[in-house]
């Protein structure tokens, strides 16, 4: 209740938000600070007996080492691990968050380790949850501490590690190392770059549709429908907002179903993401709608994925966490930081198309305001066309129906 009150007080006069509201934790209201201290003490009272139990169980391993059989020893070790993982670790994190509520705010210009904020989640205009959130400013710090530090070696590979817009190779490598946390390792990373084996000039096409009105769900749905029909299925439709995905799905499903093209959708169908991808991969003529999880985590080789349609440029959401990262991680270039994020997202989306040498596919971006500076995200050799929707549909159909050959644009 106190969190909700603080959020609403600070967002007074702002337009109502569908997804939710958020505000900075500091300055903290007196009542909220007192409530956080009380809750912190209560959590400590829960953690203390659990910690004592774990210590005494571990003590048995030492004191009764001569008498304990292997099965009992394994049960005690498993129990202590479960107590630490399921109870003590979360309680410790929650207590640290609550102590931060009563602590002094960071000094201006000081780089914090964590970003703390208050968030009120809403669905269909109804408040669903209010909470205190804590995020790592640089998530590669816990990554290195948890995974990299105890490892004998670490191999990180991706087609999107380096930003294709960088003309300075050293700057591109430095940005890639910062992105994966290599800067936090005790020894410098060994760099290696391998050229792509694919002929993108022959295997792919890219279109930017220039005559689609922004904000018109009906026009957006019509574009998805006609593009999916032109491809005959095998299409992945990507959205930057769940609300638009849910609005488009019922508008295009009947027409696709009438042509024998099944349509599946993340956040609509009662299946987890892995199952949706498995079904999409198995049914060559099906189509799939999804958000960022599908953009970054789909591996569907062959004709089952021959078209990727992205509704708009995937700009980062301008929330508090992104604001703080722009300030502290952008190296003085916040606009360039945003552009780099978008280029990597576009490259991830495009990368869903070509997974092996025999694959062919088209990439369509339904955002006429796409800046030219972002198009360096696509691999060298990709033919990019800014065209109207009808022309994109005709060229898409012609490309998929005829033998592969370089574009003559």
Q: Which of 175, 180, 183 is nearest to 333 (CA)?
A: 175
- Is 409's pLDDT higher than 60? no
- Is the predicted pLDDT of residue 348 greater than 60, yes or no? yes
Both tokens of residue 168? 């300075």
Give the whole-angstrom CA distance, residue 74 versus residue 62. Answer: 13
Kindly report, residue by residue over 307-338, the tens digit of the pLDDT: 999 999 999 988 899 999 999 988 888 998 89
Ramachandran region, residue 56 (left: φ > 0; alpha: ψ -120 to 50; beta: rest)? alpha
Above pLDDT 90, what percent of the chain? 40
Cis previous bond, 260, omega within 30: no
DSSP β-bridge partners for residue 208: 365, 386
pLDDT at 15 over 60: no
Enclosing H/E stretch for 289: strand 287-290
Instruction: Specify the pLDDT at position 205.
Output: 92
Q: What are the sequence ranges of the domains in the chain?
A: 1-26+106-136, 28-104, 140-184, 200-401
pLDDT(95) > 90: yes
* Model pLDDT for residues 61-81, shown as the tens digit of each residue: 888 877 878 888 899 899 999
Position 405 scores a pLDDT of 63
CA atoms of 139 and 123, how far apart (whole Å): 28
The two tokens of residue 82 are 């479960």
**Number of other residues whose CB lies within 10 A of the CB of residue 404:** 13
On the 0-12 / 13-18 / 19+ scale of CB atoms within 10 A, 61 is middle
Whether pLDDT at 125 is above 80:
no
So what's the architecture of 200-401 in CATH?
A: 3-Layer(aba) Sandwich (3.40)
Strand 114-123 with 126-136, pairing: antiparallel
CA angle 27, 133, 297 (to 5 degrees): 145
pLDDT at 406: 59
């Amino acid at each position: 209740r106190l969190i909700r009150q603080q959020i609403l007080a600070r967002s007074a006069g702002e337009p109502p938000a569908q997804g939710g509201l958020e505000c900075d934790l500091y300055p903290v209201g007196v009542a909220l600070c007192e409530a956080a201290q009380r809750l912190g003490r209560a959590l400590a009272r829960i953690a203390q007996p659990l910690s004592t139990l774990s210590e005494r169980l571990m003590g048995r391993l030492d004191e009764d080492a001569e008498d304990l059989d292997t099965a009992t020893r394994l049960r005690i070790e498993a129990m202590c691990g479960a107590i630490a993982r399921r109870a003590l670790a979360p309680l410790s994190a929650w207590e640290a968050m609550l102590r931060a509520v009563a602590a002094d705010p960071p000094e201006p210009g000081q780089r914090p380790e964590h970003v703390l904020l208050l968030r009120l989640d809403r669905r269909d205009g109804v408040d669903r949850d209010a909470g205190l959130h804590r995020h790592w400013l640089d998530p590669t710090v816990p990554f290195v501490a948890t995974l990299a530090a105890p490892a004998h070696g670490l191999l990180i590979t991706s087609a999107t590690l380096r930003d294709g817009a960088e003309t300075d190779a050293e700057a591109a490598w430095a940005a890639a190392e910062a992105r994966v946390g290599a800067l936090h390792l005790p020894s410098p990373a060994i760099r290696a770059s391998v050229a792509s084996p694919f002929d993108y000039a022959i295997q792919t096409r890219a279109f930017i549709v220039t005559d689609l009105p922004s904000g018109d769900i009906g026009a957006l749905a019509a574009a998805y429908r006609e593009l999916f029909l032109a491809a005959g299925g095998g299409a992945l439709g990507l959205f930057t907002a769940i609300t638009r995905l849910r609005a488009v799905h019922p508008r295009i499903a009947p027409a696709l179903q009438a042509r024998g093209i099944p349509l599946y959708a993340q956040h609509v169908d009662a299946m987890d993401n892995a199952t949706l991808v498995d079904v999409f991969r198995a049914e060559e003529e099906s189509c799939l709608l999804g958000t960022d999880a599908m953009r970054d985590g789909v591996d569907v080789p062959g004709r089952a994925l021959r078209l990727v349609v992205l509704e708009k440029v995937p700009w980062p959401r301008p929330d508090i966490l992104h604001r703080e990262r722009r300030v502290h991680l952008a190296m003085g270039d916040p606009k360039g930081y945003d552009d780099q994020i978008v280029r990597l997202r576009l490259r991830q989306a495009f990368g869903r198309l070509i997974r092996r040498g025999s694959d062919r596919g088209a990439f369509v971006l339904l955002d006429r305001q796409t800046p030219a500076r972002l198009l360096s995200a696509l691999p060298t050799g990709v033919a990019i066309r800014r065209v109207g929707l009808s022309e994109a549909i005709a060229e898409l159909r012609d490309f998929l129906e005829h033998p592969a050959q370089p574009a003559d644009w």
